[in-house]
Amino acid sequence: MSAFVRRYPAVRYATRQIRIRLPQRLGGLDPAHVPPRVRHFELALPARSGWAGGGPAALAVTAPGDLRVPRRLHHGGLAGYEPEATACFLALLEHARPGSVLDIGANVGLYAALAAARGRRRVFAFEPTPQTAATARAIAADNGLDVEVVQLALSNHSGTAALRLSAAADTANSLACGPGPQIGRIPVTVDTLSHWRERTGAHPAVVKVDTAATEPDVIAGGLEVLRRCRPWILCEVRPHNGVEQRLMALLEPFGYRWYHLSGEPPYTPSPMIGGAGAAHRDRMWLFAPEAVPERVWRLARAWRAAFAGR
């Protein structure tokens, strides 16, 4: 019954409306802590000092109330959501050679929206969960952003697979078999990054990957893209089944360097990729095809300052 309630938003909302009328000693909920059925808010998009690229000052966000990323953005803005990674991402959009931006494991498409709002590159957002992909598509359309949302799971093979729907959070939906509780599985289309690039002719320059523990599979399916295109990659590294070692084995032959995005830039190259023991906000890494120039860190610092209103 619990899994059924969690899986279907309408049922979940109706159940909560009943529970907020019950005393808390009988399992009732505090109305102050119940998310709305639909969340509406404006997300401010700061511009760094000296920025002349234009774009909207804010994004209008409409999303199901339960989704984790919109909830965090609603309460903390960009300054409270992966500020090290988003600042570095915006810096890379200014620095990287011409090419497209790929937001792999996009969820509601925050990184894709930032790329479209603060750049002029072709932007793709990959999200296999139907409801979440629809939300990403709606946010882009509502704000007039040129983002192509691709309802596809990228991995190391082509075909179909079962996407595990996490009971903990929509951000933990994954093709990986994790230890946490789940509310079910849905079939999704799967392909490799290399096959997708061959079909579309895209030339990735900046790539963000967050696929809840299958990041090595995404990289393995895109080795030809790494060889040909040499994209800059932002990647979340979760401690799960040797993810760190697999990523190093895949990236090292292509001369990539890795930088842990934690604290204030500049960041120094790390001898190893690590995820164990890292807090959630400290799991983002930069995989760089060359030594990172000081200009990138300078731009990242400027974007961090803009997030904080300095």
> Each residue's pLDDT tens digit in the chain (310 positions)?
444 444 445 455 455 445 555 555 555 545 545 568 899 999 999 999 899 888 999 999 999 998 999 999 999 999 999 999 999 999 999 999 999 999 999 999 999 999 999 999 999 999 999 999 999 999 999 999 999 999 999 999 999 999 999 888 889 899 988 667 888 999 999 999 999 999 999 999 999 999 999 999 999 999 999 999 999 999 999 877 789 999 999 999 999 999 999 999 999 999 999 865 445 567 999 999 999 999 999 999 999 999 988 6
Decide the pairing of beta strands 123-126 and 147-150.
parallel
Q: What are the b/e assignments for 223-235, b being 16+ CB within 10 Å?
A: bebbeebbbbbbb
Query: In whole angstroms, what is the distance from residue 125 CA to residue 26 CA?
Result: 43
Spatial CB neighbours of 291, under 8 Å, sequence gap ≥ 6: 257, 269
Domain residue extents for the chain: 1-34, 38-307
pLDDT tens-place string over residues 59-96:
999 999 989 999 999 999 999 999 999 999 999 999 99
pLDDT at residue number 256 = 98
pLDDT at residue number 16 = 47
pLDDT at residue number 15 = 52
| CATH no., domain 38-307 | 3.40.50.150
pLDDT at residue number 272 = 94
Tally the residues of the chain.
Answer: 310
Decide the pairing of beta strands 284-288 and 257-260.
antiparallel
Query: In whole angstroms, what is the distance from residue 302 CA to residue 48 CA?
Result: 6
Alpha helix segments (H runs only) across the chain:
2-7, 9-19, 68-76, 83-95, 110-117, 130-142, 193-200, 215-220, 223-229, 243-251, 294-307
